[in-house]
Amino acid sequence: MRNLVKKRVTSRERKGENPVSEDLIKEVWATGNESLQEERRLFYVAMTRARDKLFLTASRIYGDGKRDRKLSQFVSEALGEESVKSVLKKNVQEVPVQQLSLLDIANFQAQNSKEENKSVVSNQQAVAINYISYSQLATFKVCPLHYKLRYILNLPSAPSPALSYGISVHSTLRDILLEAKTKKDFTSEELKDFLDKRWINEGYSGKLHEQKTHKQAEGIIEKCWVNYKIEKPETIGIETPFNFWMTRTDVKQDKIKIAGRIDRIDKLPDGRIEIIDYKTGKAPKPGWEKKAIFQLQIYALIYWRNHGVVPKLLQLIYLGSAQLLRNSPSESDLLSTEKKLLQIAGEITDAMQDGKWTPTPSRLCDWCSFKGICPAFND
């Protein structure tokens, strides 16, 4: 239960706009302030709805923060005045005159955490990451501040239609390909059922937006299945998790773990390996090929390190525009990819050591989950 302060839970006395005739009231009304009595009753009813634990919360400041707010009298009545005084005395803290933004609070918490760990971690010891994925690498290269907010401070973000759509389509294709091992064909209705089971309806601007996107996904799923039947590949891996350790020399910790999932792994007729990655949207503007090849070669590098075999073919398919990219890597290519991975990991380590997480404004800012607290977006 939140906002348990006066004038929010305990409101001022007010008369109902539409008073009920006394002839229709079967219960006996409490004497005194009727509004207060009703609020107290609702407060206790709400308390009884808790299953395992009940948290009572309030803030000392709201709105412009010009005045401290007092706890609702219902809290003292429920817990006892002495108990409430004891808790307030134990947890009292100085409140800054100016309210902090969410970003300020996150930085404040991170700084406190750093101070608390000084006795355990030497100041001379380098701060570094020991785990990273392609998504994290890509996020850092687009905007270091976004990387910090999402992967270091773990700030929650609102669901987006692109994310919901992407997860829905990927999960549906996975289920279909797994089922295809025992069933050779599916009707349009069966394909739609697969999608309906995996559909995430969060983040859309409205029902029409969701329905239009769902229809688009139906077309993509059916087209993918038709192509799969025609090609008849020997699929040996579906959303295969992977990881491997790279050796580095930039910090005392000499290992960094690269992890993620490969959408599809096929065995070609000659016995060699093909790695396929799906993108649910459309191909971006010119220049996307370079980044795409880098991602594919990360997957190839991981397969090579784990199995000792360099995949013969890498393929990236943009399902929304039917564009695709093919690449045949060499061992030299994969060694260069590993070197670049270590370089980016070093850049992230430098940012962690220096505390410099510079925002990088771009057209992507309009869709950023953290634009409300980003200094670049709000300047």
Indicate if the pLDDT at residue 321 is higher than 70: yes
Residue 322: which pLDDT band, with cuts at 50, 70 and 90? confident
pLDDT at 62: 65
CATH topology of domain 161-354: Lambda Exonuclease; Chain A (3.90.320)
Instruction: Note the pLDDT of residue 116.
Output: 43
- Hey, how many other C-beta atoms are within 10 angstroms of the C-beta on 50? 10
- Per the structure block, which two tokens stand in for 44? 């206790």
**Is 140 in a helix, a strand, or coil?**
helix
| DSSP assignment of 303-323 | HHHHHS---SEEEEEETTTTE
CA nearest neighbour of 275 among 307, 322, 244, 247: 307
**Cα distance between residue 217 and residue 162, in whole Å:** 12
Q: Which of 55-64, 233-242, 302-311, 366-375 has the least mean pLDDT?
A: 55-64
pTM of the model: 0.64
Strands 273-279 and 255-267: antiparallel
What's residue 173's pLDDT? 95
Spans of all domains in the chain: 22-91, 161-354
Is the pLDDT at 157 greater than 60? The verdict is yes
Model confidence over 242-263: pLDDT tens digits? Answer: 888 887 655 555 678 888 889 9
- Pick 74 or 278 by higher pLDDT: 278
What does the alpha-carbon distance between residue 334 and residue 294 come to, in Å, rounded to a whole number? 9
Q: How high is the pLDDT of residue 352?
A: 85
Confidence bin at 89 (pLDDT 50/70/90): low
Query: Is residue 117 very low, low, confident or very high in pLDDT (cuts 50, 70, 90)?
Result: very low
Please report the beta strands in the chain, taking only residues with DSSP state E, as ranges in sequence order.
Answer: 131-133, 234-247, 255-267, 273-279, 313-318, 323-327
Neighbouring residues of 106: CB distance < 8 A, sequence distance ≥ 6? 149, 153, 155
CA 54 remoteness from chain centre: 27
Residue 95 CA to residue 113 CA, distance in Å, equals: 19
